[in-house]
Chains A and B, each alone.
Chain A
Amino acid sequence: MTLLELEGVSVHYGRIQALRDISFTVEEGEVVALIGANGAGKTTTMRTISGLLNCTEGKITFAGQDITRMKAHIRVVHGISQAPEGRGIFPGMTVMENLDMGTFGRKDRSGVSKDLDRVFDLFPRLKEREKQFGGTMSGGEQQMLAIGRALMSNPKLLLLDEPSMGLAPQFIRQIFKIIKEINNQGTTVLMVEQNANQALAGAHRAFVLETGAITRSGTGKELLEDPSVKEAYLGVG
């Protein structure tokens, strides 16, 4: 079943067009990656889906419902949750309080403790650090916290904006494993990545974004072997 569908979505910053006529779908249960260079519109796409940006044209459908004009905080209630770029955690709140903020829009308080266990299972480090302030943690821990916090709303669709940004290579591998694990537990994942190699290897399907438009699409494996993708994003060729 199609969970998320973008049809002809365009986004402008003032008069500058950041996305042109983007269309793609995310099926339930998938991991989908969007790859592209700096300034290709990856983060803009994410912010448009989560509702922080309004699209100027086009339509966004989520779980069969038109959410094009829906406010970001209501989209969370409907099941879209984002771990923002640059992590976007609350630096002055403890890990626990950050996670608690993730449940802000939730209606079913009873499910909270189950999701907390799930997050602590995925990220044992967060449990160790539950009383520590978000701002005093390392980059990797902040990334875990951002993902954990996004999971606390028990989303149908998890949006990850550059989950590997600024992390050590070994830790990048761990993050991608965890993303896979989150997906195995039943959450659909849409991620944006510069680290094309890892992203394509871990994704069912992927799209290449270039200057605001989708130029290529396919399964992760197909794109990994595509010569032009190899040359442009994988550093070989």
Chain B
Amino acid sequence: MSMTDGPTPLQTAAAEQAAEDREASSKAPGRSSLRPQGKRKSGYFSDRWHALSRQQQWAFLVVVVVLAYMLPLINPPIITTEPGNNFALACFDMARFALIAVGLNIVVGYAGLLDLGYVAFFAVGSYVAAMLTSPDSPYLHIPYLWTLPVAMAVTMFFGVMLGVPTLRLRGDYLAIVTLGFGEIIRILATIIPAMKGQVGFQNVGHPPGDGADGTPIFSNSNGVPWYWLTLTIIIIVTLLVGNLERSRVGRAWIAIREDEDAAEIMGVPTFKYKVWAFAIGAAVGGLSGALFAGQVGFVNNQKFDVTTSILFLAAVVLGGAGNKVGAILGGALVSYIPLRFTAIAEYKYLIFGIALVLIMIFRSQGLLPARQRLLAYGRTALNKVTSRDATETKDMDKPPAGPDARAAGQRGAEA
């Protein structure tokens, strides 16, 4: 049916909209000064990015990726973590954290489920790799590279196991239960004899291949190949997650994060999608754990405490929850700062803390805030949006804005 069937309510619409404008402007009189028009700080990079053409974006990406691969070889002065820490190993550690942050970002950033026990999945992944490759383990042994998919599958299973009973809880309650889960895994590793507690597993496997001098390429002391392997995995995972983000699944996650009840009555099977977020996030965490176990070559129960979980969460929040590139940056940074300042050992966590506080003050949405608008309509729509209204993007948590947003919207409509 069209307007012609029922024009009555519409003819008066203009007058009533005017009245309603008055209502809206009287509602939030003080807010206008908070937001400068036209430019918003936190979206600066993403705006610049989307102003580029597709080719420019690709060219830029290629340069960034090549630079990222070259990073441990260039070993840039100032940036380097040496002499305190081997820079290539530091790069691997940054990559490991970045991968974890990408995984946790699915759970916390997209689906909005606060998970304080993410280290448990990391631990499960580590133990899977260790128990399937270490000579200390009496079980079946398989080549190291095969443990990566196995670790993902096993952690995914754990994700579902944890998710099904707990995802009926919301917010704080979920956070507390996941916190407990993290501890359970750590304590199980201590008390189950087969997991060898503090003794742990030595000589965890590594990918095959020997260098010219007969030593394995993927040795514990050589960070470069491990870094390259992890970086490659990050790129693959990020591409996959990006596709997921733009799909129906991604939209469902964002809807759940924004308002779970509303998502449910829009026809989103919220429970199912929450379990999926947990499972996929867990799989990435497990993958990272398996890589870590391989590089370090030793797994015991000492590395999987609550502090580590909080650090993972800090990486996601710091980078910008809901933005995968932000998560990569945040993860790398959380790992990098303490490594960089090892030389002044007493102060390294002071510097770390100050850095976190400063970032949160100046970029409260994270380094790269989530671009929530990209969800449904892909690039064309997005470009239209960015060119038309650069104003209203960041403050989605804030209640209806004042006259400036309104004015901006009208400008957008006229354009």
**Chain A: which residue is nearest B19 at the CB level?**
A170
Chain B at the A interface: SS class = helix
A135-B395, A180-B9 known; A140 and B23 CB under 8 Å? yes
Could you tell me the distance between the alpha carbons of A170 and B13 in the complex, rounded to whole angstroms?
A: 10
Answer yes or no: A94 CB below 8 A from chain B CBs. Answer: yes
Residues of B within 8 A of A141 (CB): 20, 24, 400
CB distance from B411 to the nearest CB of A (A): 11
B8 contact from A73, A118, A177, Cβ within 8 A: A177
Residues of A within 8 A of B373 (CB): 93-94, 97, 133
Answer yes or no: B405 CB below 8 A from chain A CBs. Answer: yes
**Chain A: which residue is nearest B270 at the CB level?**
A73
CB distance from A126 to the nearest CB of B (A): 11
Answer yes or no: A167 CB below 8 A from chain B CBs. Answer: yes
CB interface residues, B 367-403, toward A, < 8 Å: 370, 372-373, 375-377, 381, 384-385, 388-389, 392-393, 395-401
B392 near A153 with CB under 8 A, answer no
Answer yes or no: B55 CB below 8 A from chain A CBs. Answer: no
Mark interface residues in B264-286 (1 if CB within 8 Å of A CB, else 0): 11111110000000000000000
Answer yes or no: A101 CB below 8 A from chain B CBs. Answer: yes
Residues of A within 8 A of B263 (CB): 101
CB interface residues, A 12-46, toward B, < 8 Å: none
Answer yes or no: A77 CB below 8 A from chain B CBs. Answer: yes
B412 near A132 with CB under 8 A, answer yes
A135 near B400 with CB under 8 A, answer yes
Answer yes or no: A50 CB below 8 A from chain B CBs. Answer: yes
Stretch at the interface among B70-78, B220-228, B247-255, B330-338: B247-255
B375 near A104 with CB under 8 A, answer no
B261 near A90 with CB under 8 A, answer no
Residues of B within 8 A of A178 (CB): 9
A138-B24, A170-B20 known; A128 and B267 CB under 8 Å? no
A73-B268, A93-B372 known; A174 and B13 CB under 8 Å? yes
**Chain B: which residue is nearest A94 at the CB level?**
B373
Answer yes or no: B2 CB below 8 A from chain A CBs. Answer: yes
CB distance from B305 to the nearest CB of A (A): 34
Residues of B within 8 A of A94 (CB): 373, 385
CB distance from B72 to the nearest CB of A (A): 38
A102 near B372 with CB under 8 A, answer no
Answer yes or no: A70 CB below 8 A from chain B CBs. Answer: no
Residues of A within 8 A of B401 (CB): 136
Answer yes or no: B27 CB below 8 A from chain A CBs. Answer: yes
Residues of A within 8 A of B252 (CB): 104
Residues of B within 8 A of A77 (CB): 267
Answer yes or no: A100 CB below 8 A from chain B CBs. Answer: yes
Chain A at the B interface: SS class = helix
Could you tell me the distance between the alpha carbons of A168 and B17 in the complex, rounded to whole angstroms?
A: 11
A168-B19, A168-B23 known; A121 and B10 CB under 8 Å? yes
Stretch at the interface among A80-88, A188-196, A223-231: A80-88
A73-B267, A82-B265 known; A139 and B2 CB under 8 Å? no
CB distance from B31 to the nearest CB of A (A): 10
CB distance from B19 to the nearest CB of A (A): 4
Mark interface residues in A136-174 (1 if CB within 8 Å of B CB, else 0): 111111100000010001000000000000011011011
**Chain B: which residue is nearest A71 at the CB level?**
B269
CB distance from B278 to the nearest CB of A (A): 18
CB distance from A136 to the nearest CB of B (A): 4
Answer yes or no: B259 CB below 8 A from chain A CBs. Answer: yes
B372 near A137 with CB under 8 A, answer no
Could you tell me the distance between the alpha carbons of A74 and B399 in the complex, rounded to whole angstroms?
A: 31
Residues of A within 8 A of B192 (CB): none
B376 near A73 with CB under 8 A, answer no
Could you tell me the distance between the alpha carbons of A71 and B269 in the complex, rounded to whole angstroms?
A: 9
CB interface residues, A 80-120, toward B, < 8 Å: 81-82, 84, 88-94, 96-97, 100-102, 104-106, 117-118
Residues of B within 8 A of A128 (CB): 409-410, 413
Could you tell me the distance between the alpha carbons of A72 and B261 in the complex, rounded to whole angstroms?
A: 9
Could you tell me the distance between the alpha carbons of A52 and B271 in the complex, rounded to whole angstroms?
A: 12
Answer yes or no: A56 CB below 8 A from chain B CBs. Answer: no
Answer yes or no: B196 CB below 8 A from chain A CBs. Answer: no
Answer yes or no: B6 CB below 8 A from chain A CBs. Answer: yes
Could you tell me the distance between the alpha carbons of A133 and B252 in the complex, rounded to whole angstroms?
A: 17
Residues of B within 8 A of A170 (CB): 16, 19-20
A94-B373, A96-B377, A135-B400 known; A73 and B264 CB under 8 Å? yes
**Chain B: which residue is nearest A184 at the CB level?**
B6
Residues of B within 8 A of A180 (CB): 9
**Chain B: which residue is nearest A140 at the CB level?**
B20
Answer yes or no: B212 CB below 8 A from chain A CBs. Answer: no
A91 contact from B2, B5, B258, Cβ within 8 A: B258
The 4 closest A-B pairs by CB, nearest first: A105-B267, A138-B24, A177-B9, A92-B396
Task: Give me 16 A-to-B residue pairs in the complex whose CB atoms sit less than 8 angstroms apart, sorted by A's number.
Answer: A51-B265, A88-B261, A90-B258, A94-B385, A97-B376, A104-B248, A122-B10, A125-B13, A131-B385, A132-B412, A135-B397, A138-B24, A140-B20, A167-B20, A174-B13, A177-B12
